[in-house]
Amino acid sequence: MMTDYSYTAVAAFVPEPFRKQLADCSRLLGEKYKSWYVLNEDEFPPHVTMWIAYVPTRNLDVISSTTQNALQNVSGIEISTGNVKVEDGGYVSVEINVTQRLRELHKLLLAHLNKFREGYLSQKYMETMHTYSKEQQESLKMYGTRAAGNLFAPHTTIGIASADSVSAIKQNVVPTLNSLQHIKFPIRELIFFRQGKPGRSIELINRYQLL
């Protein structure tokens, strides 16, 4: 019998009013620039991922409870946004500044949850492994994702648009996103979810209140 896998994450929702502003920009990317990744405030809120992995679906319950135990003595954190990033391929995001607290939280989750991957690496990464740097390849082999551990680079994904729209996005969308650079907001809750409809929704599994 084949093992069923789920794409999962532990993340923080971006609070209002920034949540709506980011979702509005994401909708614009979908409507005008062919982005298949479209945020909305309810089914697919803007979020900052602390841990992400494909895992056997049978492990969802144990991941949920292990995360609860791992976070029971963790206090709230402050997140600050960095630069807006638009890659040549059409990927649009707002970077999150990496603080010591944020890195410690990421490594705490890695230490507790990585084993539940059971070494799984998704087919898409297996097929493109050769295109990544040596450090990214090591991250993929160890953690199932190309930017974990020392490569941890938190961000909020806004959209993944068509490559031929990059110039227009920089002209028409980035100025709005720039107003969301260099702001700070507190995080008092993390959430555990798995992907629903790719780029459109998530399935919320658990919520964790921080101290």
Residue 132, Cβ neighbours under 10 Å: how many? 14
pLDDT at 2: 80
Range(s) of the domain holding residue 181: 5-209
Q: What is the pTM of this model?
A: 0.95
Model pLDDT for residues 184-207, shown as the tens digit of each residue = 999 999 999 999 999 999 999 999
Strands annotated E in 120-176:
155-160
Torsion angle of alpha carbons 170, 175, 177, 183, nearest 10°?
130
How many domains does the chain fold into?
Answer: 1
Residue 155 has pLDDT above 80, yes or no: yes
Calculate what percentage of the chain has a pLDDT beyond 90. Answer: 99
The CATH number of the domain holding residue 115 is 3.90.1140.10
